[in-house]
Structure 1
Amino acid sequence: MHDDYPSFPGFENVSLEDSYVLDIAVHPGALSLHLDLLLLPTHPAYGPPRPGERACFRAATVVFSHVRDLHWTGQSIVQPATDASGSADFGSVDSLTRLYDTYQILGDWGEISLRSSAPSLSIHPPHAT
């Protein structure tokens, strides 16, 4: 069975393709993607864009737990981009798909293929200004 991320529970009403990958962390049994996540207007946590932002972005983390197998190719091309504000990111998630028991994540930072539990998405509360 082949699925794309919008069909994963908790991934409805977000756009990974328009989000920014701030960090990728691999630990024994876990993979985490730390994101500046774009929320679509239909997302329950959606709010007006903050000053200087073009859309509603929120800090978020995608976690794959119970990782049984992980392959990351293209790591040598990982170079963060720095925007005008000085913030660094690794581009976006071009795709996140599941084919049977394997997840595939593609982006400017390479390709990660892993077997794990279904990913979870946690949106962090906004920082007080």
Structure 2
Amino acid sequence: MDIFKGIDFNDLFVLGWSSNATEITFKIEASIWPDSPHYLNPKPDEYTCYRKCEIQFTDFTSYSGLSEQSSVNPSIDINGSIDYGNIDSLIITNQGFKVVGEFGNLEVINGKVQLKFTHNKLLNFVPATKSVASTGLPTLRCGSPLAMR
């Protein structure tokens, strides 16, 4: 998925999430590398660019497997910041998307995924289509920016 090019899911932090009948939103702090069009020079105390953004799923038929945020214990860092781990995988399936992390095993039927940075500029979207062959699905997994399933 081109919208996630240069984003290291292994070093991404889930800051929270919400859902309703029309939208699922993950608030994240993304680790962004130079091959991403969203890369900025790192701050002096950072080894790469970190930017807050949102991953949004919209226009879906249904979803399941997402835990309520209040039922998940967050990690508290030394500096007092709270996060809910990372996104272990984000996969396009024949039915839509599968997203796995501390928040659950989310399955989104149909719909599209969008990446939005805090200044609310829509960057791109990837629609879920049933025409993707099951042997050639793009897969984002922990430890590799893009692998083929």
Task: Normalising by structure 1, report the TM-score.
Answer: 0.80
Partner Cα distance (1:100, 1:51) in 2 = 43
Aligned to 1:91: 85
Q: Is the 8 A contact 2:13 2:83 kept in 1?
A: yes
Shift, 1:73, TM fit: 5.5
Q: Is the 8 A contact 1:78 1:110 kept in 2?
A: no
Amino acid in the other structure paired with 1:101:
Q
Amino acid in the other structure paired with 2:65:
W
- Let me know the Cα RMSD of the aligned residues: 1.9
Alignment counterpart, residue 24 of structure 2, candidates 27, 31, 41: 31
Q: Residue 68 of structure 1 aligns to a residue in which SS? A: strand
Amino acid in the other structure paired with 1:106:
V
Q: Which stretch of the first structure deviates more once superposed, 46-55 or 21-30?
A: 46-55
- Does the C-alpha gap of structure 1 residues 107 and 40 become closer, same or farther in structure 2, counting only changes over 3 Å? same
Amino acid in the other structure paired with 2:58:
S
- Does the C-alpha gap of structure 1 residues 47 and 73 become closer, same or farther in structure 2, counting only changes over 3 Å? closer
Q: Is the 8 A contact 1:23 1:34 kept in 2?
A: yes
Shift, 1:53, TM fit: 2.8
Alignment counterpart, residue 119 of structure 1, candidates 95, 113, 116: 113
Per-residue CA distance 1:75-104 (angstroms, 9 max, x = gap): 696211011111100000000001112211
Q: Unmatched 5+ residue regions in structure 2?
A: 120-149
Partner Cα distance (1:103, 1:59) in 2 = 22
Which stretches of structure 1, 4 residues or longer, exceed 3 Å deviation after superposition? 73-77
Amino acid in the other structure paired with 2:8:
S
Q: Residue 8 of structure 2 aligns to a residue in which SS? A: strand
Partner Cα distance (1:44, 1:100) in 2 = 28
Aligned to 1:110: 104
Question: Relative contact order: is structure 1 or structure 2 higher (C-alpha 8 Å, sep ≥ 6)?
Answer: 1
Q: Residue 53 of structure 1 aligns to a residue in which SS? A: coil
- Kindly indicate whether residue 43 of structure 2 is the aligned counterpart of residue 46 of structure 1: no
Q: Which stretch of the first structure deviates more once superposed, 95-104 or 48-57?
A: 48-57
Q: How many residue pairs align between the two structures?
A: 118
Query: How many percent identity over aligned positions?
Result: 23
